Amino acid sequence: MKKTIVFLGPPGAGKGTQAEKLKKAYGFVHISTGDILREAVSKGTQLGKIAKKYMDEGKLLPDDLIIGIIEEKLKELPDANIILDGFPRTVGQAEALDKLLEKLGRKLDAVILFDISDQEVIRRLSGRRIDPKTGKVYHIEFNPPPKDVDVIQREDDKEEVIKKRLSVYHSQTSPLIEYYKNQNKLFVVDASKSPEDVYKEITSVLKL
Ligand code: ADP
Ligand code: AMP
């Protein structure tokens, strides 16, 4: 059966960075709800117009909307090994995912919890920069962009929105830790380490 993995953790924990590594090395399909929404915003679609309001304020979009997007994506990818990054983010989304996977004949193999302090998240998010042409993610201190690449800062990586996103994570998303512990699916990695060390922990947990 095809693998389905969830990356759980606060914004800025390094989920996207690690998902890209696993994509390159093992061909996982990286599904990031944040990336899907940002693309919709930049294209100015109906979804993008709705999403922008929530994202700029660091709030979560309504569950129904996000679940619909994920359902569509998963249906398109019956034969892929998948990493879900940034979804689920509420208990409602997690329950919907369980049902959806069952309907599609898949099962959730593992949930990787990126364990990291708020202080470190703030350092990572405030220094995060993106190459708008390729979507590649850099950090002004930890992974500086090449001189010839013009990077931008995400609107929601500004200090006030970072604080809001962290509080949303603690109130709405962190209950998923208990949810997946109860399903015996939760594996914790120390996300404060270097990208290489975090990668080693994840590949070891996933027995890759
Ligand atoms: P997430 O997808 O969880 O929001 P990202 O993968 O975008 O997080 O990482 C957030 C920021 O931290 C980026 O600027 C990235 O370059 C940087 N980063 C990612 N992993 C590490 C790490 N292990 N150590 C230091 N910086 C990291
Ligand atoms: P991310 O790139 O994962 O940090 O997500 C950026 C923003 O997109 C979040 O702050 C939310 O506004 C929105 N978003 C992404 N994923 C979800 C989700 N699963 N549920 C609700 N909103 C989401």
Give the residue numbers marked as catalytic. Answer: 15, 89, 128, 154, 165
User: Which residue range forms the structural domain that includes residue 201?
Assistant: 4-117+169-205
Residue 145 lies in a domain: no
Determine whether the shortest distance from the Cβ of 12 to ligand 2 is under 6 A.
Answer: no
Tens-digit pLDDT string for the chain (208 aa): 899 999 999 999 999 999 999 999 999 999 999 999 999 999 999 999 999 999 999 999 999 999 999 999 999 999 999 999 999 999 999 999 999 999 999 999 999 999 999 999 999 999 999 999 999 999 999 999 999 999 999 999 999 999 999 999 999 999 999 999 999 999 999 999 999 999 999 999 999 9
From 42, 47, 55, the mutation candidate for ligand 2 (largest count of ligand atoms within 8 A of CB) is: 55
Residue 190 lies in a domain: yes
> Ligand 2: distance of its center to the CA of 107 in Å?
23
* Alpha helix ranges (H) inside the chain: 15-26, 33-43, 46-56, 63-76, 91-103, 118-127, 159-168, 175-182, 195-205
Q: Do the Cβ atoms of 87 and 70 come closer than 8 Å?
A: yes
For residue 159, tell me if it sits in a domain: no
The Å distance, Cα 47 to ligand 1 centre, comes to 26
Q: What is the pTM of this model?
A: 0.98
Q: Which residue has the tokens 């990336």?
A: 35
* Residue 165 in contact with ligand 2 by CB distance below 6 A: yes
Is residue 192, in this structure, part of any structural domain at all? Answer: yes
CATH number, domain containing residue 195: 3.40.50.300
In short, whether 124's Cβ falls inside 6 Å of ligand 2 is no
In a domain, 131, yes or no: no
- The protein residue with its alpha carbon nearest to ligand 2, atom 12, reads 55
Half-sphere exposure of 73 (CA within 13 A, CB side): 22
Instruction: Give pLDDT, residue 180.
Output: 98
Q: Which of 91, 86, 136, 132 is nearest to 112 (CA)?
A: 86
Asked if residue 42 belongs to a domain, the reply is: yes
Whether residue 201 is contained in a domain is answered as: yes
Domain count, the chain: 1
CA dihedral angle for residue 88, residue 111, residue 181, residue 207, rounded to 10 degrees: 170
Domain-located, residue 144: no
Phi, psi of 12 (to 5 degrees): 85, 5
Give dist(CA 13, CA 15) in Å, integer. Answer: 6
